[in-house]
Amino acid sequence: MLEFLICSMLTIFPDFLFRRYVQGKRIGREINLYSMWFELRYGITACVILTVSLITMIFYFHPSTTNVTAVFRTVTILPESNGRVAEVFVGTNEKVAAGAPLFRLDDKEQRAALETARRRVAEIEAETTVAQSELASADGLIAQAEGAYLQALNELETQVELNQRNPNIVARREIERLQVAADGRKGALAAAVSNKQTLQTKIASLLPAQKASAEAALAQAQVELDKTTVRAGVAGTVQQFGLRAGDIVNPMIRSAGILVPEERRIGLIAGFGQIESQVMKTGMIAEATCIGKPFTIIPMVVTEVQDVIAAGQFRPTDQLVDVQQLARPGTLTTYLEPLFEGQLTGIPPGSSCIANAYTSNHDALHEPGISTGRWLYLHVIDAVALVHAAILRLQALLLPVQTLVLTGH
């Protein structure tokens, strides 16, 4: 209507002035309800053409949408594994801090595994103590084996020397027996030394490795036990939390509730028409008015324009997708952020809004060598944004009336 009134001032009104003061035709006589179309046909036709062109230009270069929502983030409350609830620490609509416990699952199995891992660590520590005692005992065995070997070796050398002096004094068989005894005690000494090296290797490498593995298993068991207590990842308010002791929670089927973070708003998400995909650009200035905060115009800026339209998505299934199922036209998802800090304060999260985005040709108008026709055309595009801005302000004024009176909500 506003566009028609503006266009009529440039078309129908001049045509009427020409008929009235040049041709002398008056309203109610020559110009009446039946002759109006014939008398003012040029102005009416030009007004319709100009109005349609103006509306097309306004809504194309300065798009508007009512599909705008003040979105906010939520966090699903889920355990990392299935289990039966043993204890609940919070209630619905209760505010919690980050890291606060929400509920605990039955942890008998995890506690048993933790105790087993703890006992294994203690067992390896005991094995280390025993190995150190055996190492001290190995030194005594080596000393004993060395003494026995030296004694056997001395007896052998004595008998060999006596045999060299007089072969008839010592029998050859006796010398062979002493040689065998000396070799045996030498082997026992080597075995004692090897046993000590084995104990040293066990104490230095094997037992520490086993202890590290046992401690890792202990840490894993502790992690599994900690998982049974579900905690809040961020500070916020617990919503739709009807969990009670004895309930079964499954992360694949049933969630425990929803946590609404305190820092939850990320801005406005708007769905513009697909035809406006060529003019919607990141950095465009926009304005919005929300039903949750009436009589307020919020300056915004376009921070991101999604390069795909969600209506055309599909996932691999066991059935072929019929294009008819995707025929419903989707919108161009656009993210809007407030131009100034704190502009969204007071708007309830999830509020429905109305938004306009404005095309700016400031840089194009200052390009060197721009033609007069293009300069005038770009100026007209920027100027008609005032009409759309005025319409948004009228909508902001009428939105409470429309909501409370006309729709009765």
Residue 82 — very low, low, confident or very high, per pLDDT cuts 50/70/90? confident
Half-sphere exposure of 359 (CA within 13 A, CB side): 24
Instruction: Specify burial of residue 251 (Cβ count, 10 A radius: 0-12, 13-18, 19+).
Output: middle
DSSP state of 409: -
Count of CB atoms situated within 10 Å of the CB of 288: 27
Calpha distance 270→3 (Å, rounded) = 25
What is the overall mean pLDDT for the chain? 80
Calpha distance 360→178 (Å, rounded) = 112
Residue 294 — very low, low, confident or very high, per pLDDT cuts 50/70/90? confident
**With 80 as the cut, is the pLDDT of residue 359 above it?**
yes
Out of 122-131, 142-151, 226-235, 335-344, pick the least confident.
142-151
The pLDDT of residue 216 is 92
Calpha distance 260→350 (Å, rounded) = 12
Instruction: Specify burial of residue 242 (Cβ count, 10 A radius: 0-12, 13-18, 19+).
Output: exposed
Calpha distance 381→364 (Å, rounded) = 12
Specify the long-range contacts of residues 363-370, CB closer than 8 Å, at least 24 apart: none
The pLDDT of residue 10 is 67
Distance of CA 166 to the CA centre of its chain: 99
Mean pLDDT of 49-66: 84
H or E segment to which residue 201 belongs = helix 172-201
H or E segment to which residue 315 belongs = none
Mean pLDDT of 109-114: 89
More confident residue, 331 or 178: 331
More confident residue, 240 or 151: 240
Mean pLDDT of 361-386: 85
Calpha distance 124→390 (Å, rounded) = 81
Residue 2 — very low, low, confident or very high, per pLDDT cuts 50/70/90? low
Q: Contact, 111 vs 229, CB < 8 A?
A: no
Q: Is the pTM above the cut of 0.85?
A: no
Q: Contact, 386 vs 2, CB < 8 A?
A: no
**With 60 as the cut, is the pLDDT of residue 168 above it?**
yes
**With 60 as the cut, is the pLDDT of residue 79 above it?**
yes
Residue 302 — very low, low, confident or very high, per pLDDT cuts 50/70/90? very high
Both tokens assigned to 361:
């040709």
More confident residue, 106 or 154: 106
Inter-CA distances, 337 with 70, 72, 285, 286, Å: 10, 13, 10, 9
Mean pLDDT of 218-222: 90
Mean pLDDT of 136-160: 70
Q: Contact, 346 vs 328, CB < 8 A?
A: no
Mean pLDDT of 46-64: 83
The pLDDT of residue 130 is 81
**With 60 as the cut, is the pLDDT of residue 408 above it?**
no
Residue 119 — very low, low, confident or very high, per pLDDT cuts 50/70/90? very high
The pLDDT of residue 286 is 92
Out of 141-155, 168-182, 186-200, pick the least confident.
168-182
Question: What percent of the chain stands above pLDDT 70?
Answer: 82
The pLDDT of residue 301 is 92
Residue 149 — very low, low, confident or very high, per pLDDT cuts 50/70/90? low
Both tokens assigned to 268:
């406005």
Calpha distance 280→69 (Å, rounded) = 18
More confident residue, 262 or 354: 354
More confident residue, 192 or 260: 260
More confident residue, 338 or 152: 338
The pLDDT of residue 357 is 92
**With 60 as the cut, is the pLDDT of residue 409 above it?**
no
Residue 287 — very low, low, confident or very high, per pLDDT cuts 50/70/90? very high
